[in-house]
Every structure is written in structure tokens, then in C-alpha cells.
Amino acid sequence: MKIKKIIIFILPFIIFLPLFACSVEPEEQITHSTSTELIKNLSGDDLKGIKSCEYETIRLAYRMFGKNFSMGPTDPSYRGIITLSEEEGENLFNQYNWLLDDTFVLQDIGEIDTSYLQGNKWYYCNDFNVKVFPTVIVNYIYFNGKDTIIFDVSSF
């Protein structure tokens, strides 16, 4: 008799919890950072002269019952700005065959201030993306030809 009461009490949770979980949309969980360690880890020794870096780490999670839940380990995405020394920027610009993208409009990068970058010309180079950032999926990487790289990449 007790088992029957327990089953009657638990059964609605077992039935409705998966239905509730499927109807919830994932939310972005964003962490802001200024450490250069991430960029050094992603690019290895291929990107030198990093003066500063400001980026956001984005993870998807479901918010249920006031807590964040994930269906397992999730691969984060990263978006932000890398500032190089002018000398390294010049070396980088001369080392690769950068192509001007005059259709690119500077995207909003979350909480990161990009107002000082307005009006820059932006260049891209697939060879640079493959050589310097081989361990991530590149959504975009643009270089202003001087000292600033903006990026949006995802882990595998």
C-alpha cells in the first residue's frame, strides 16, 4: 500500500518534468574576462605581442527551478577584442594576405565597449584563422591592420 502511494506521488513528476524541460529555451550564461591566458591557449605561440585582451565566455544553459542546468559538458563560445603592440600588428599585417571586407559592420560584443573601433577598416584572412586558431571554430576574426583583432569563436 505504501509503494502505491509513493508511485502515485512520484509518477506526475516523472511524466511532467521532461515535458517542462523540453519547453524551456536555453539562456546564454556570460562571463567577462580580461586575462590573456585564453588567447595564449587558443593560439599557442603563433600570436605574439598581446598587450591586452577583453572577451566574454558564453555557455548555454537551461534555467529551471531557479538554477542553471546543462545537458552535459558544453563547449563555450568566446567573443572579444585582442590588442597587439603596434610592431606586432605591423608584422602580422605583412605576414599574411589580408583581404579588406568593406561590407563588415562591427558587431555588438555584449558588454565590451567597441565605440572606439568605429570607423576602422576590417580585414580577414583564412590562412591566419587556420594557422593561429586551429583548435576552434571561427565564426569571424577581423583585424584592423594596425593593432586590434576582434573575434567570435567556438570550441569543438
The residues that bridge with 78 in the sheet, in sequence order, are 57, 153
Indicate the burial class of 31 (C-beta count within 10 angstroms; 0-12, 13-18, 19 or more).
exposed
pLDDT for 106 equals 85
- d(Cα 79, Cα 61) in Å, to the nearest integer? 18
pLDDT for 24 equals 61
* Residues 147 and 86: beta-carbon distance below 8 Å: yes
pLDDT for 54 equals 94
The mean pLDDT values, 10 residues at a time, for the chain of 156 residues are 65 59 67 87 81 90 62 78 94 95 86 88 94 90 95 86
The residues that bridge with 46 in the sheet, in sequence order, are none
- The pTM score is 0.77
pLDDT for 97 equals 96
pLDDT for 125 equals 96
- d(Cα 99, Cα 123) in Å, to the nearest integer? 5
